[in-house]
Structure 1
Amino acid sequence: MKSPNKLLFMFLMVSSTCMVASSSNWLMTWMGLEINMLGYIPLMFMKESSSESEAAVKYLVPQSLGSTIFIASAIISSYFNNLQILMLIAMCLKLGVAPFHFWFPPVMASLQLTPAFILLTWQKIAPILAISSMNSLLIKAIMPIATISALWGGIGGLNQTDIRSLLTYSSIAHTGWMLVSINSNYIILIAYLTTYILINMSIYTFLSKEHTKSYKQLFSSKEPEKVFILAITILSLGGLPPLMGFIMKLLVLMFTEAKTIIISGLILGALVSLFYYLSLTFSTLLSFNKVHLTKSQMTSKQAILFLLSQIMPLTLILFLF
């Protein structure tokens, strides 16, 4: 990732997201999404293995299909307004929300940790911003998809043993919450995205140091303070009160204009997700005693990212509301 060509593609990916955020027409939005896709694909090749080539093809085909549907429906919608719903479906395909998530778990399973983290976090920003720029009637039409995504993300993660698969289905569930936050307040959407990215960054920092794949290896570190921080961060990702992940979901429910059945589906999906996160971390938290806590030195990068993921979004909300 330190080579100049990687830095160039990173710049393309970041600048294209800014292009989508600042675009005033659908053509500029489409161009930003295309540059974003083309800037990310070379970053998928960390070790130049055959699995990464397979993941790149599995990523390219649905993304290209989504972009084609988006620009075609944008052109046709100037004559037939009813076809604007296809633009919404195209963005859902690019996001990987259920039931358009068929490409997302296989791509995540074949990627190295760094491109997988980028796919989980940064690559969600541009399609969500494109959806938020649509009219309110289209945004209301996306609410059933958001509920299906939250439920499927919770159910899909129940029988997973690989930590990357758990994060994949958690991402599908959280994307449903992000789509609902579009229908509430723009500040809530930005704060939710910030919280989600910071929590995932904290988990990514731990995984990159420990080189773990199975959830049984996840809490086998010899440094108990890091294990404790990781367990709390995962529970925050699952939405356990009173952690930051729960506060963000509570704010979405308070400010959203969605119907009761949509809210009920979101809560049910969050409870299922929290169930497998609790089962993942319960034994670790029980074995963590006061002696370990007093001996812990909270100076590592994981501790700093943990504090940022829990404190920074809260201060953002206090300043903006």
Structure 2
Amino acid sequence: MKSPSKLLFVFLLVSSTYLVASSSNWLTIWMGLEINMLGYIPLIFMKETTSESEAAVKYLIPQSVGSTIFISSAIISNYFNNSQILMVIAMCLKLGVAPFHFWFPPVMASLQLAPAFILLTWQKIAPILAIGALSPSLIKLVMPVAAISALWGGIGGINQTDIRSLLTYSSIGHTGWMLASVNGNYIILLVYLLTYMLINISIYVFLSKNNNKSHKQLFSFKEPSKLFILAISLLSLGGLPPLVGFIMKLLVLMFTQASIVIIFGLIIGALMSLFYYLSLTFSVLLSFTKIHLTEFKSTSKESILLFLSQITPLAMILSFF
């Protein structure tokens, strides 16, 4: 696929997300979700392989089912108010959160790195904004799904050896935290999304150079600075204090209105996620010596991305609070 076509579909992704964010009725939200889906599917075909075609079909079917349930529920809600609960189910299906995550890991396993990271980051914005447009009573129904997603993201990632599978289950866990932040301060949700996107972009820059797939291949860089930056990015994604990933989880716990059972589920899921990130990076961090630290150079593009991913959300928090 040629570059102008890619730019067109990227424009559709961005414009459809803004359409969902600025919509005032269910019809335009549904239109934005449909444009978002149709703009992403052509971006899947990077090398036009059979695995990418399989991933496109596996992505299309649940997304179409979710959109159909959403617009049907919006129409029926004019006559039966209780039918709006189907909107919650539809958006959870489009997000790929547990227990509606059956399509998410197979699709991620068949994608190239660029569309995979778009699916991990940008494709979560529109459904979460649609959930935020629901009534407070319906948003409370999302809280058990948030806790289940956080727990399943921690459990599913423990025995994974493939990097994409690891990031997939980590994404399921983080989506649970995003859903928990919907029932609280809206600014916290936006900053959490920005934080998650920046950390994933910094990891994507490293993975795209070596096309690593397993744990042993992940830290195959010869430069100590790149090893250290990648380890810090992964630990921040896991929520290790005092990195920005931990600070965002702490802010969600402070501002969310979820019950103590839901908060307990979120914390347990985050601890399990942090466990497999620590086991992944522990040997690498221990290999650093005083000589390596003195040779550390922070002038590369990756270092700038890491700096932005750790500092920008904190600057936004200070500006709003």
TM-score interval, normalised by the smaller of the two chains = over 0.9
One-letter amino acid of the counterpart of residue 120, structure 1: L
Shift of 1:106: 0.1
One-letter amino acid of the counterpart of residue 88, structure 2: L
Q: Deviations over 1:104-147 (max 9, x none)?
A: 00000000000000000000000000000111000011000000
- Separation in 2 of the partners of 1:127 and 1:108? 18
Helix, strand or coil at the partner of 1:20: helix
1:296 aligns with 2:296: yes
Q: Give the corresponding residue for 1:137.
A: 137
Helix, strand or coil at the partner of 2:161: coil
- Separation in 1 of the partners of 2:33 and 2:260? 33
Q: Deviations over 1:162-202 (max 9, x none)?
A: 01100000000000000000111000000000000000000
Please tell me the root mean square deviation across aligned C-alpha atoms, in Å.
Answer: 0.7
1:137-286 to structure 2, matched below 5 A, reads 137-286=137-286
Helix, strand or coil at the partner of 2:225: helix
Q: Give the corresponding residue for 1:98.
A: 98
Q: Give the corresponding residue for 1:59.
A: 59
Q: Give the corresponding residue for 1:119.
A: 119
- Separation in 2 of the partners of 1:22 and 1:60? 25
- Separation in 2 of the partners of 1:174 and 1:290? 34
Shift of 1:244: 0.2
- Separation in 2 of the partners of 1:160 and 1:320? 38
Q: Give the corresponding residue for 1:80.
A: 80
- Separation in 2 of the partners of 1:16 and 1:263? 32
- Separation in 1 of the partners of 2:256 and 2:2? 42
- Separation in 1 of the partners of 2:70 and 2:299? 47
One-letter amino acid of the counterpart of residue 162, structure 2: D
Helix, strand or coil at the partner of 1:184: coil
Shift of 1:210: 1.9
TM-score by length of 1: 0.99
- Separation in 1 of the partners of 2:117 and 2:2? 17
- Separation in 1 of the partners of 2:82 and 2:105? 32
One-letter amino acid of the counterpart of residue 16, structure 1: S
Q: Give the corresponding residue for 1:318.
A: 318
One-letter amino acid of the counterpart of residue 244, structure 2: M
Shift of 1:294: 1.2
Count, aligned residues? 321
- Separation in 2 of the partners of 1:208 and 1:220? 13
Shift of 1:237: 0.2
Q: Give the corresponding residue for 1:31.
A: 31
- Separation in 2 of the partners of 1:118 and 1:75? 31
Shift of 1:2: 6.1
- Separation in 2 of the partners of 1:227 and 1:77? 53
| Regions of 4+ moved over 6 Å | none
Question: What's the % identity of the aligned pairs?
Answer: 78
Helix, strand or coil at the partner of 1:173: helix
Helix, strand or coil at the partner of 2:221: coil
One-letter amino acid of the counterpart of residue 255, structure 1: F
Shift of 1:289: 1.5
Shift of 1:45: 0.1
- Separation in 2 of the partners of 1:9 and 1:232? 33
TM-score by length of 2: 0.99
Gap runs ≥5 in structure 2 = none
- Separation in 1 of the partners of 2:143 and 2:177? 10
Label 1:276 to 1:19 Cα distance change in 2 as closer, same or farther (>3 A).
same
Shift of 1:288: 1.0
One-letter amino acid of the counterpart of residue 92, structure 1: C
Q: Deviations over 1:257-312 (max 9, x none)?
A: 11000000000000000000000000000001221111121111111110001000
